[in-house]
A and B are shown apart, each in its own frame.
Chain A
Amino acid sequence: MTPSRKQRLFLVLFLVTGVIASVTFALKAFQNNMLFFFSPSQVYAGEAPESRVFRLGGMVVEESIKREAGSLTVSFIVTDYANSIPVLYTGVLPDLFAEGQGVVARGQLSDDLFIAAEVLAKHDENYMPPEVAEALRISREAQK
């Protein structure tokens, strides 16, 4: 083997080892950070794990948002219209969070309560919620 071929081989070996090592590492990281998504009905049916973080999605039930005055802790109920799960969250809520709107919460089950570490509000741009259109109508009338 000529020295330059030997060096070439060395470079290739080095790169292959590097790539394999990082891919292995990536897969490991991947497994630890994978979050499953469940609906309230799936949680109700016992499909969601008890002691693992997952994401819960559904609609916020009307008039279910409750908080003690002055407290950052808020509770609300998430439903998929078949089943409902109560959720507890401490922190600042996202702008689009509202009753009757879609929501995704990341957190863990504790007994029958879902303790959320993060709350994201979904906003569907394709359809208009009635409140939007109501405002549209008002601004339209204001111009007449």
Chain B
Amino acid sequence: MIPEIGQFSLIIAFFLSLTMAIYPIVGSLLNKKELLLYARPMAIGQFFFIMISFFSLAISFLLSDFTVSYVTYNSNTSLPFFYKFSAIWGGHEGSLLLWLTILSVWTLLVSLFTKKLPERYISLVLGVLGIISSSLLIFTLLTSNPFERLLLPVSDGNDLNPLLQDPAMVMHPPILYIGYVGFSVPFAFAVAALLDGKLEKGWASWMTPWTVASWVFLTLGITLGSWWAYYELGWGGWWFWDPVENASFMPWLAGTALIHSLQVTKTRGLFKSWTILLAILAFSLSLLGTFLVRSGILISVHAFATDPQRGIFILALLSLISGGALFLYAFRARTIKDEGSFDLVSRESFLLINNILLIVSVLVILIGTLYPLFLDALGMGKISVGPPYFNLVFIIPMIPLSLFLGIGMHASWKKTSLSKLINKLSLLVLLSIIFGYLILDFTFGVSNFLTLIGFILGLWIILSSISKPAEYIFSNKLKISNFTNKLWGMTVSHFGMGIFIIGVTITSTYSIETDRSARVGDSWDVGIYSFTFDDLRSVSGPNYEAQEAAISVFNGNNLITQLLPQKRIYSVQQSPMTEADIDNRLARDIFVALGEPLGDGSWSLRVQIKPLIRFIWLGAIIMALGGLISISRSLSESVRNKYD
């Protein structure tokens, strides 16, 4: 009964979202005001029924209802409660339902928090969201129904993929999806403006908080995914340039460009059509991300659910949504005119350079991800592009980006005197170079030029960010009370970016990675640490059996910690899983993973020392925090307005 309620609610939600898509758009075209009024109630109704549907699936999972095919494939009676819930998004059908649920929440929020905006415009925005939601709902209902019953029920399920039985993986998909799907809001704002044929005054300011909020979630989602891959995949890498990772990284880069371009549109009335294009691009890349992961068009270690048939449907969706938007853009963008102009040396120029470099990096990643597919499509052989390509081509635009980022923050709008800028920044440049060299030489030792450059650039970004509020504090003309949340947000985000760059630079140069064989009683050294293999024992969890090694780590004669890496065998799927154990400090991680038995009582072990690897995720979290700070004012204001 419960699955039927879920499915039926999904059908109702489809009709509501269809109404939400058609009525406002037709209403605005025919100038019928009464049709516009349908948008908000439909958004609320859609949210209500999709929620019922989502919770119906949740209940089917919690009750282990194995008459539902999707539950059978992704759950098991012995699965811990926590994972039964997260198993909802363990496969394709449930992920899609999660996607829709999140979209309905965003749509609801748009309908609730935009009461002060022009009715006609907001109805169009909801109409565009309705198009997205109704097309994904029909896709779900026709090709990926999570409530499908099994013809012949089984008594126990197939279990959740063991890789996904992990706390970070419980959180990763929802947070990532909140970010992905959130870009539908700026997309809808942009397309509605194109439909309307003009940009309302204040358009860019309305759009900013939604864009930044989505970006914050996407940042956290990617960070969580990277952290998960680091300790769960058992290889000690934190980024693999895997197609699925790229699929989440490209919308992030486009979203970052969008946030910066929005600043220019908001403050100076420039880059309008470019901002619209970026909003379309960011969401299209999110859809493409869903498409790449779900269609099996690219084979990937992350692609858990693959099915080419669905790919064709998703492709049709992509053509409708992104193709439609770009079609509108092609014919309407020319009517949207920029106001004013700017000088070569001005904040606008630096933000333009930032945008170009970000989009160039999107392009090189896109090429590396899709080129193998094109070659295959043309029958020219199966190839893949290795991480060295991505590492190299991504660094190239990032170096000037980091350099200009620091300068741009200190440039003023419209026109900056070059000599003043040089006066202001030459000390910072000098400090970054000198301290960069000295600190690196003193701590890790300068070993190659690129590492030195990376470290100096990281320091440069940090110093130029900090100097921004410092300037307000120590200047006679400026007051720190005038340092707005927006400026704090910028400072904090860029500071996080500096931390991130330092983390990446140091980890990739100074990590020690070793594979070795060892048996109980063995001792060996890696870097400045000594390791002793104390014990090997069997342990068991709720739905797995494991071999656990106890390995003591010493620094000189001081015991630092005892690490307990495991090799688990999950009882249902019988697949082995490496659970690495990590001793993490801010300055370094000690990573030990247990490989396989080598026959004579010894085991293969992977032992790695990773300096400053925490800086990578810490930097990313600080970046997200900066985003949050920058929109905190508009968030609190809109909540206050709501209840006044």
Contact = CB atoms under 8 A, between A and B. Distances in A.
A136 B154 CA distance: 10
B155 A25 contact: no
Given A22-B364, A25-B393, A70-B600, A95 B576 contact: yes
Contacts of A30: 367-368, 371, 385, 389, 393
A91 B515 contact: yes
Interface string A29-41: 1101111110000
B595 A93 contact: yes
A7 B600 CA distance: 73
Contact of B306 (A11, A36, A125): A125
Nearest to A54: B383
27 contacts: A7-B343, A11-B352, A15-B356, A26-B364, A26-B393, A26-B396, A32-B388, A33-B385, A33-B389, A34-B384, A36-B382, A69-B599, A70-B519, A70-B598, A71-B517, A72-B517, A92-B595, A93-B595, A95-B575, A123-B575, A125-B305, A131-B574, A132-B573, A132-B574, A135-B573, A139-B156, A143-B156
A93 B344 CA distance: 55
A4 interface: yes
B401 to A, nearest CB: 11
Interface residues of B, number: 64
Contacts of B344: 7-8, 10-11
Given A70-B602, A140-B154, 13 more contacts: A18-B357, A19-B356, A23-B360, A26-B396, A30-B368, A36-B382, A71-B517, A90-B515, A93-B595, A93-B596, A95-B575, A120-B301, A139-B76
Interface in A61-94: 67-72, 90-93
Interface string B288-309: 0000000000010100111100
Contacts of B357: 18
A11 B353 CA distance: 9
A29 B396 CA distance: 11
A35 to B, nearest CB: 5
A45 interface: no
A92 B605 contact: yes
Contacts, number: 141
Interface of B: 76-78, 154-156, 158, 161, 234, 299, 301, 304-307, 341, 343-344, 349, 352-353, 356-357, 360, 364, 367-368, 371, 381-386, 388-389, 392-393, 396-397, 400, 515-517, 519, 571-578, 593, 595-596, 598-602, 604-606
A92 B304 CA distance: 23
B384 A92 contact: no
A128 interface: yes
A97 to B, nearest CB: 8
A113 interface: no
A18 B357 CA distance: 9
A67 B371 CA distance: 38
A68 B384 CA distance: 32
Given A95-B578, A132-B573, A19 B360 contact: yes
Nearest to B599: A69
Contacts of A26: 364, 367, 393, 396
Contact of B158 (A19, A29, A128, A143): A128
A36 B383 CA distance: 4
B417 to A, nearest CB: 14
Nearest to A95: B576
A80 B571 CA distance: 30
A29 B392 contact: yes
Interface string A106-126: 000000000000001011011
Contacts of B78: 139
Contacts of B572: 132, 135-136, 139
Contacts of B599: 67-70
Nearest to B593: A92
Nearest to B349: A11
Q: Which 4 A-B pairs have the closest CB atoms?
A: A69-B600, A7-B344, A69-B599, A33-B389
B596 A37 contact: no
A37 B383 CA distance: 5
Contact of B234 (A25, A36, A95, A143): A95
Q: Which of A29, A93, A95, A96 has the most CB of B within 10 A?
A: A95
A118 to B, nearest CB: 10
Interface in A5-58: 7-8, 10-11, 15, 18-19, 22-23, 25-26, 29-30, 32-37, 55
Contacts of A68: 599
Given A70-B600, A93-B595, A37 B156 contact: no
B604 A29 contact: no
A102 B307 CA distance: 19
Contact of B396 (A11, A22, A143): A22
B600 A34 contact: no
Contact of A139 (B515, B571, B595): B571
A29 B393 contact: yes
B242 to A, nearest CB: 11
Given A7-B343, A26-B364, A136-B156, A72 B598 contact: yes
Contact of A135 (B574, B576, B598, B605): B574
A53 B312 CA distance: 34
Given A69-B599, A92-B596, A35 B384 contact: yes
A37 B384 contact: yes
Nearest to A123: B575
B517 A70 contact: yes
A116 to B, nearest CB: 13
Contact of A140 (B155, B368, B396, B596): B155
B443 to A, nearest CB: 30
